[in-house]
Structure 1
């Protein structure tokens, strides 16, 4: 009975921590540095737009949302807007923004994100990020998937995103041995 109670407490605490880690960070905490290949120019590639450091973090519990992070920059030209994100192997992707006002954290969906020439925007914990709903079981930690950014004029840019497990690890348990 005592082991069962411990297991339930551990599961609840892990779930709460992972939900919060997907949409928040501590003040002054930098996003984890990860690398992915920059988006290559292709027939639909948006000129002057680069996407790098793309990561898809799987949910801790099947059926819960995952999250995607990346950096996007516009080299020159008129200001643009990110209109949509698509992640291969995910039913729905929504751009969100976490904010802190008056000591109260909040998160909400956004329909677009403005880009300015010469400035990079980070999709990272505690700011803009992409919530991933309906993650396919084919997405496995240690693999890759394609992340596509669609701009306001319909131009698209795609990049390979590293798939990570819980806590950014390469396996589903974030490197923890859960044997009892």
Structure 2
């Protein structure tokens, strides 16, 4: 297909206008990026100079007394009580194990010989709670890795960047 000289001239003129517009847009985008950077810097200054001190003052005035009181309650009441409960539970467990061992060896209650027999060996059936938790955590970790890989490798058209930013695309 051959174009007339008039059409070729019009197309060249249109291409020149498109290139000029493209260059102008690139300059405008550059200026917008510098304005956005400066706005980010100013926002950081505002945060450091205004927001952070007000939040800290509000925390000290309203929340800090309750947080300190909560820490004192936990350190002075909850932790000692939990330690006492755990110590009692372990003492009971130890006493039960000792009694069971004495009974099994025949040093405890004097049982007739016909009643004494070896306890049956414990039968392990399937995986325990720890195995189930380990499997769940492993599956969750694998899903997380696959999701991260998918997010990294997926095609995203909005993230496309031109090779030559000052050159207009061919029409």
TM norm. shorter chain > 0.5 = no
Radius of gyration: which is bigger? Answer: 2
The structure that is helix-richer by fraction is 2
For normalisation by structure 1, the TM-score amounts to 0.19
The structure that is strand-richer by fraction is 1
For normalisation by structure 2, the TM-score amounts to 0.20
